[in-house]
Amino acid sequence: MATTSNDFRNGMVIRKDGKLYTIVEFLHVKPGKGGAFVRSKLKDVKSGKVLDITWRAGEKVESVRLDRTKAQFLYKDDQLNFMKMDTYDQVALSTAAVGEGNSLLLKDGTEVEILFDGDEAVSVVLPTFVELEITQTDPGVKGDTVSGGTKPATLETGAVVQVPLFLSEGDVVKVDTRTGQYVSRV
């Protein structure tokens, strides 16, 4: 679908130079002198790299509609393996499609959404929060609840997050997949 830079919205997916980009943010600028233009931040759907691009107002771009399919994470070998929930077909994606840090937040059975451009799987959308068990951390000491400090904790998937001092091994914590940070104890 053809659209123009005047129709940009956050989250919109466009194709530029054969690659898919998501619009992270944009700003219409109307200077006192000269023509209007649009500043935008685009995130590469496959690699996650962010580009700053300036467009002329009304410049034509190709808008892309990605299909979303629910899937379940199965296992990780040299790639991440998922199963579509509706057809039970398996899909293998590289860790770049999820993000290097986010691939460490996936445990067996986690439900995700896979984005498809036609028949090609291009990206994975994780749930906003995941609940994981702490497998290794320094022991907490009585009175640590007031200080507000943090310590590193290794989770069951191998991810390392900063948690409050009072948490110990065996506790289950909620982690935000967008930031990779501890949210609360479950």
DSSP states of 113-134: EEEEETTEEEEEE--SEEEEEE
DSSP states of 123-166: EEE--SEEEEEEEEEPPP-TTTTTT--EEEEEETTS-EEEEETT
Question: CB–CB of 167/184 below 8 Å?
Answer: no
Q: How far lies 107's CA from each of 95, 133, 158, in Å? A: 14, 11, 10
DSSP state, residue 7? G
Residue 82: exposure state from Cβ atoms within 10 A (0-12, 13-18, ≥19) = buried
- Same fold yes or no, 67-125 and 129-185: yes
Residues 6+ apart with CB under 8 A from 49: 43
The pTM of this model reads 0.76
Name the CATH superfamily housing domain 67-125: Nucleic acid-binding proteins (2.40.50.140)
pLDDT band at 179 (very low <50, low <70, confident <90, very high): confident
What is the tens place of the pLDDT at every residue in 33-70? 888 999 999 988 877 788 999 999 889 999 988 898 99
129-185 placed in CATH 2.40.50.70:
no
CATH class for the region spanning 2-63:
mainly beta
Domain ranges of the chain: 2-63, 67-125, 129-185
Position 2 scores a pLDDT of 83
Output Rg (C-alpha) for the chain, integer angstroms.
21
What is the tens place of the pLDDT at every residue in 114-172? 988 888 888 888 898 999 999 999 886 666 565 678 889 999 999 999 998 888 889 99
Q: Mean pLDDT, to the nearest integer, of 83-93? A: 91
